[in-house]
């Protein structure tokens, strides 16, 4: 990691356990609960929350993975199409409480896309949102129900979540974006 660390592996572990308790408490149990991770780092986080719920409640909550690429609002603006990671939802989201899980909540555009994608699969009773890090700067009227850590940031900063399953280590770091050097003034 190259930036300043704002969450250690232990802090991620504790935050994940707290999120799992909050989710179960809000639902008053596990009935009808469904965890859906947003590709890519939301997927391992959703699995960890499910594991934690299983340890505490003795119930296996179904976990799915959602790829929001086809629903992005900037697809007509990108020069190169993003690589699709794949979607695998447990069948039958009708009437269930779907908890979307993602690593970082920023503009809210990913969550907007995820909700559009979800309603194409059915009609959940409720959609909730759990994130490991909320860094602010929303551009849409969206907020998270469950937050691992609130981190004040500036738009010039990057927040990177690393998870063992993908990156080989756990941790959250923050770093200043390297801006392009200013162009030479035109004579």
Partner 1 sequence: MSIHIEPDASAGTLPAVPSVDVAPEAQAAAWRHRHLLDVDGLSGAEIDLVMRTTDAMREVLARPIAKVPALRGRQVTILFYEASTRTRVSFEVAAKNLSADVVNIAAASSSVAKGESLIDTVRTVEALGAHMLVMRHSVSGAPYLAAEVFGGSVLNGGDGWHAHPTQALLDLYTMREHLPGGSLEGRKVVILGDLLHSRVARSNIWTLTAAGADLWRCGPATLVRGFEAWAARGAAGRRFHVTTSVGAALRDADVVMALRIQRERMAAGLLPSLREYAARYGLTRERLALAKPDALVMHPGPMNEGVEIAPDVAAGAQSVITDQVTNGVAVRMALLYLLAGTHRGDAT
- For binding to partner 1 (CB under 8 A), which residues are involved? 34, 39-40, 43-44, 47, 50, 59-65, 67, 69-71, 75-76, 78-81, 83-92, 116-117, 120-122, 165-166
C-beta separation of 135 from 105 below 8 A: yes
CB 182 to partner 1: min, Å:
26
CB 82 to partner 1: min, Å:
8
Which residue lies nearer to partner 1 by CB, 82 or 136?
82
C-alpha closest to that of 94 among 47, 127, 64: 127
CB 20 to partner 1: min, Å:
15
Which residue lies nearer to partner 1 by CB, 87 or 137?
87
Asked if the peptide bond before residue 40 counts as cis, ω within 30 degrees of 0, the response is: yes
Which residue lies nearer to partner 1 by CB, 98 or 147?
98
Q: What is the dihedral of CA 155, 156, 157, 159, to 10 degrees?
A: 50
CB 150 to partner 1: min, Å:
27
Which residue lies nearer to partner 1 by CB, 93 or 129?
93
| Chain centroid, CA 73 distance in Å | 17
C-beta separation of 46 from 60 below 8 A: no
DSSP state for residue 185 in the 8-state scheme: P
C-beta separation of 89 from 64 below 8 A: yes
């Amino acid at each position: 990691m190259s930036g300043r660390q704002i969450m250690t592996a232990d802090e991620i572990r504790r935050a994940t356990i707290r999120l799992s308790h909050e989710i179960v408490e809000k639902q008053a149990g596990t009935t009808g609960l469904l965890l859906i991770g947003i590709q890519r780092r939301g997927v391992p986080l959703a699995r960890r929350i499910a594991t934690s719920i299983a340890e505490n409640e003795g119930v296996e909550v179904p976990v799915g993975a959602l790829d929001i690429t086809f629903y992005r609002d900037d697809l007509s603006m990108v020069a190169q199409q993003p690589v699709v990671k794949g979607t695998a939802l447990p069948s039958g989201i009708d009437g269930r409480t779907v908890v979307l899980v993602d690593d970082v909540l920023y503009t809210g555009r990913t969550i907007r896309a995820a909700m559009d994608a979800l309603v194409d699969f059915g009609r959940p009773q409720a959609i909730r949102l759990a994130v490991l890090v909320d860094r602010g700067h929303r551009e849409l009227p969206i907020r998270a129900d469950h937050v691992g850590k609130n981190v004040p940031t500036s738009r010039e900063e990057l927040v990177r979540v690393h998870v063992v399953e993908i990156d080989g280590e756990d941790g959250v770091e923050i770093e200043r974006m390297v801006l392009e050097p200013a162009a030479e003034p035109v004579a």
